[in-house]
A and B are shown apart, each in its own frame.
Chain A
Amino acid sequence: MTEISDEQIIRSCSSEKTLNAGFELLVNKYQQRIYWLIRRMVIRHEDADDLVQEVFIRIFKNLPKFRQESELFTWIYRITVNEVISFLNRQKRKKLLSLESYDHVLEGAFQNDPYFTGDEIQKKLQQALLKLPAKQRLVFQMKYYDAITYEKMSDILGTSVGALKASYHHAVRKIEQLVLDH
């Protein structure tokens, strides 16, 4: 089965008659990709579920404003990244009032998560990832798991390719160190 193109989705969404069908195609194509990106960032399944729904509601509301100045894929990922970053900031602000840090909460969350089936090494990698700053973690996830090119990442995050490469290599070195140290 061939994957539906972004152009086809945009064409469907641009007409009022086919908007619903177009949006269904968009959800079918991007739902899982967005879910996994969010899940790896927020760890908890329930949080990821809520965020994915919020992302798609935002996408639907803003579809008429989408001017095709960037690719649909880039635009969707930008919305997702913004949602994730603001969610993490919100959680950090909430946790400022308590004694427990948010990173510590996340570590505990994935250790007790019934939907985490990884082995010891994967657990180590996830623990190491949680020690990275949010934006560096995001760059690592997008490059390592989703294989997004630096150029596309640059469009999504609004950062230069050079800075992204540096960020990724810093992340790799830190993770390497953390995994091997354990």
Chain B
Amino acid sequence: MQFGKLNNLYWIIKPFAIKSVKKPMKYKKRHIKQNKKPTEIVPKLDKQLKDNPFTVPDYFFEDQQRQIFEKTLRTSSRGTRSRQQVLFRKPIFLWPVAGMAALILLFIAVYYTEDQRTTKDYFSGITMEQVLEESPTDLYMLDEDSFYDALSLSSSDWEPSSQLFDLYLDTTISGESIQEYLIEKDLSIDMLNL
């Protein structure tokens, strides 16, 4: 029963199977009839045709090689290695680079903190008397507000000690005594307009 089914199937497939086999056979036979190999074109001319009909200028290949190497090998020495590879290719380069980096960082840290100190901080550390005695030109660095701020910070415990201020603040001294003092010291009355 099963055999009968297969037999029927064979007769259905057979026409297609024969066709698919016959096609290349026909094709091969045609070449045999014509006494030609399928891979050979115009057999009489075959050898002659295979000769290269093109030529190149003298020393062309040598010049071309040079150009190729110039374009590839020269650029490779500049371009193909990354910066990281160049820097860290050998450990010998690592230590000087690390040292330089540390120095730069140290310099930045010191310079940065120095720069951050304000003029206010500077004047708070010394008295106004010291400023006037040592470097009075530093006062020009301050604007009006900063000057009063600095003055208030540095002069909180300052007490007038000069003879002139003693004289001015002492109310028991008469005007005549003051005038005498001024004549003696060769000073102008304007000095009292503090």
**A residues touching B (Cβ–Cβ < 8 Å)?**
19-20, 23-24, 27-28, 31-32, 35-36, 39-40, 45, 49, 52-53, 56-57, 60, 113, 115-119, 121-123, 125-126, 143-145, 168-169, 172, 175-176, 179-180
Contact = CB atoms under 8 A, between A and B. Distances in A.
A35 B60 CA distance: 11
B71 A57 contact: yes
B49 A180 contact: no
> Which 7 interchain pairs have the tightest Cβ spacing?
A118-B53, A60-B72, A122-B53, A115-B55, A56-B68, A172-B41, A176-B41
Interface of B: 38-39, 41-42, 45, 48-57, 60-61, 64-65, 67-69, 71-73, 76
B71 A31 contact: no
Contact of A53 (B42, B45, B49, B64): B64
B49 A27 contact: no
Given A27-B65, A27-B68, A35-B61, A117 B53 contact: yes
Given A49-B60, A122-B48, 14 more contacts: A20-B73, A20-B76, A31-B64, A53-B64, A53-B67, A53-B71, A56-B68, A113-B54, A115-B55, A121-B48, A122-B49, A145-B50, A172-B41, A179-B42
Given A27-B65, A57-B72, A115 B56 contact: yes
Most buried by A among B39, B50, B56, B68: B68
B13 to A, nearest CB: 22
Q: Mostly helix, strand, loop or mixed at chain A's interface?
A: helix
Nearest to A175: B41
A169 B38 contact: yes
A52 B64 contact: yes
Contact of B65 (A31, A113, A123, A179): A31
